[in-house]
Copies of this chain bind each other. A is one copy, B any other.
Amino acid sequence: MRLLDVEDLDAITLGATLLGNGGGGDPYQAKLMAHQAIEDFGAVELVSLDELPDDALIVSIAVLGAPTVLIEKIPSGQLYVDAVKSLASYLGKEIAAIIPVEVGGMNTLVPLMVAAELGLPCLDADGMRRAFPQIEMTVFTLAGISASPVALADEHGNTVIVVANSNATAEKLIRSSSMNLGLANSFASYPMTIAEAKGAAIRGSLTYCENIGRMLQQIQHGTKSWDDMYEMTGGRTLFEGKIVDLDRRTTSGFARGTVVIEKFTDQSTTMRIEIQNEMLLAIENGKTVLTPPDLICMVDHETAEPITTEQLAYGQRVRVIGMPCAPEWHRDGMLEVAGPQAFGYDVDYVEFNGGTA
C-alpha cells in the first residue's frame, strides 16, 4: 500500500494522456476533480490485489460518453458516487475497493476521485492499461468476468442498471441509454471479487502509468530520451512527420476519424491512422504496421506533449509512438475482443515489433 496524494496527480495525468491513445477523454479536468476530492477527503490508498481478502467485492467506475461531448462538458457531481451506490445496492453488498476499468484517459483519474470520496482504497490494476471505446474491451472479458450488472447514472438522478448475458450486449444497452442521457455519464461495472481479479486484471497499471508520466516529464525537460522511454515500455517511434489530412465525425456516439501524416524526411511516405475515439490502426504507405490492442500514442514533435484526437490539427508536427499492450492481453480471445476486426477493420493483427526495446 502507498498513499496517492495531490502531488502524484500530475505524473499520473500525463501518463494517462499518453496511454489514452488520443482518446479516453482529456484527463486534465478529471485531474482537477480528483485533486479536489483528495483535498476534501484525504489521500487515496493505492493497494495491490494481494492486500485485500479474496472474497472482497470491487467495482470499477468510469465516465462514458463521446469524446466530442466530453470535451465540452465533463460530468461532475453526485453521478459517480450514485452509480457505485446503485450498483452496491443492487448487489446488496459492501464495496471494498475501486478498480479502474481503463488506465488511459480520464478514467484513470475518475476512480481516484471516487475512491477518495467514498473513503475506499483504489487498486493498482485495471482492465486495459490503455483506453478503448467499448465497455467489453477488457482483459476482464477475456477471463470470463461479466461487466454486469452495470449501473449508469447522469447528473439529474436518472439511473439505468443493465444485467446482460454478454459484455457486448451490456455495452450496447449502456451505450444506447447514455445516448438518451446526453452522452456524458458515469457507469459502475465489472463487480468482481479480489479472487476473480487476481486471475484477470492487469497488475500495477497505475504505477506503470505514473512511471510513464514521470519519464515523459523528464523527456520534456531534456533529462531523459525517447530511448529511455522505449527501454521501459518496449515501445518505439513509428513515424515522425506533419499532419497533411484530417477527417473527423461523430456517429452513433463514437468519434471516428482519419489522420494522414507525411514523413519529415521523405514526402512520399505517409502514415494513415484510423480513429474510433482512440487511435487504433497505423498504416504506412498502405501497409498496416500497428493494430489493437497494441498502442498508438502521439506527441507534439517539439514539446513531447501528448496529443488527443480532439487536438489534432492540420500542419501539426508529431511523433507517433507504438507501444506493446499489457502482456495480460495475450490470452485466448484477444482478437475477438480487441483485435482490429473487433473494430470492423478488415485487417489481420500485426505482431508488435519493439524495435529499439
Residues of A whose CB lies within 8 Å of any CB of B are 86, 90, 156-165, 169, 172-173, 176-177, 179-181
Question: CA–CA, A248 to B60, complex, Å?
Answer: 45
A90-B90, A177-B177 known; A165+B172 contact, CB < 8 A: no
Instruction: Please tell me which one of the listed residues B159, B165, B179 contacts residue A158 in the complex, with CB atoms under 8 A apart.
Output: B165
Nearest to A179 among chain B residues (CB) is B176
> Is there an interface contact between B180 and A176, defined as CB atoms closer than 8 Å?
yes
Question: CA–CA, A160 to B152, complex, Å?
Answer: 11
> Is there an interface contact between B160 and A162, defined as CB atoms closer than 8 Å?
yes
Question: CA–CA, A180 to B169, complex, Å?
Answer: 8
**A177 cross-chain contacts in B, Cβ below 8 A:** 160, 162, 173, 176-177
**A158 cross-chain contacts in B, Cβ below 8 A:** 162-165, 169, 173
Question: CA–CA, A164 to B181, complex, Å?
Answer: 10
Kindly list the 10 A-B residue pairs having the minimum CB-CB distance in the complex, ordered from nearest.
Answer: A161-B161, A176-B176, A159-B163, A157-B165, A172-B180, A158-B164, A160-B162, A176-B180, A173-B177, A173-B180
> Is there an interface contact between A165 and B173, defined as CB atoms closer than 8 Å?
no
Question: CA–CA, A86 to B164, complex, Å?
Answer: 13
Question: CA–CA, A177 to B180, complex, Å?
Answer: 10
**A164 cross-chain contacts in B, Cβ below 8 A:** 158-159
**A165 cross-chain contacts in B, Cβ below 8 A:** 156-158
Q: Is the interface of A mostly helix, strand, loop or mixed?
A: mixed
Nearest to A177 among chain B residues (CB) is B173
Question: CA–CA, A156 to B170, complex, Å?
Answer: 13
Output the least CB separation between A171 and chain B (Å): 10
Chain A to chain B contacts (Cβ below 8 Å), 27 pairs = A86-B163, A90-B90, A156-B165, A158-B162, A158-B163, A158-B165, A158-B169, A159-B162, A159-B163, A159-B164, A160-B160, A160-B163, A160-B173, A160-B177, A161-B161, A161-B163, A162-B177, A169-B180, A172-B180, A173-B177, A173-B180, A173-B181, A176-B176, A176-B177, A176-B179, A176-B180, A177-B177
Question: CA–CA, A248 to B273, complex, Å?
Answer: 44
Nearest to A158 among chain B residues (CB) is B164
Output the least CB separation between A136 and chain B (Å): 14
Output the least CB separation between A248 and chain B (Å): 25
Question: CA–CA, A255 to B157, complex, Å?
Answer: 31
Nearest to A151 among chain B residues (CB) is B161
Question: CA–CA, A126 to B62, complex, Å?
Answer: 40
Output the least CB separation between A253 and chain B (Å): 11
**A169 cross-chain contacts in B, Cβ below 8 A:** 158, 180
Question: CA–CA, A180 to B165, complex, Å?
Answer: 13
Question: CA–CA, A56 to B179, complex, Å?
Answer: 36
**A173 cross-chain contacts in B, Cβ below 8 A:** 158, 160, 177, 180-181
Output the least CB separation between A217 and chain B (Å): 43
Output the least CB separation between A133 and chain B (Å): 17
Output the least CB separation between A194 and chain B (Å): 25
Question: CA–CA, A179 to B158, complex, Å?
Answer: 19
Question: CA–CA, A158 to B163, complex, Å?
Answer: 6
Output the least CB separation between A170 and chain B (Å): 9
Question: CA–CA, A90 to B91, complex, Å?
Answer: 9
**A160 cross-chain contacts in B, Cβ below 8 A:** 160-163, 173, 177
